Amino acid sequence: MARDTEARLQSLGIRLPVVRTPTANYVQYARAGGLIFVAGQICQAEGHGFCMGKVGGSIDLATAQKAARVCGINILAVLASACDGDLDRVVRCVRLGGFVNVAPGFTDVPLVVNGASDLIVEVFGDAGRHARTAVGVAELPRGAAVEVDAIFELAS
């Protein structure tokens, strides 16, 4: 109610990147009823570069966690556009799906995805606590280290 998400982002030093328009036949988010489905976001954003490679291989845990955080920042940017810039309309984060591009034997998948989960809770507080599924996959778009998608509930 009394949440000021914009101020919260500023105090965290987070600037939301411009949302890129997909070059293919999909969109960054779709709304159905009170739910916003955010497309899978990879770990590339202006000012953050692109984290590419296998986690547990060329990418270590700390770097992968930062990559997951960048996925989360992209999710927030898409979400802001879905809210016409007013993130205070977000009722809660419902779900994150975390996909980690793993080297063989890397099983600390949840620790990586925490990079995104922590960000969402830093920004939204308890309203940011979400159900989550985290898995290690064989490849991700353009070799990204991490991809995260999301479902949020918006006030109508």
Nearest-angstrom CA–CA distance, 147 and 116: 10
Interface with a second copy includes 130 (CB under 8 A)? yes
Q: Which of 10, 11, 85, 137 binds a second copy (CB under 8 A)?
A: 137
Torsion angles phi and psi, residue 9, rounded to 5: -60, -45
Nearest-angstrom CA–CA distance, 135 and 89: 30
Nearest-angstrom CA–CA distance, 113 and 41: 13
Nearest-angstrom CA–CA distance, 55 and 20: 25
Contact map string, positions 1 to 30, toward a second copy, x by CB under 8 A: -----------------------xxxxxxx
Contact map string, positions 84 to 113, toward a second copy, x by CB under 8 A: -------xxxxxxx-xx-x-xxxx-xx---
Instruction: Give the footprint of a second copy on this chain (CB under 8 A).
Output: 24-30, 32-35, 37-40, 91-97, 99-100, 102, 104-107, 109-110, 114, 117-118, 120-121, 128-143, 147, 149, 151, 153
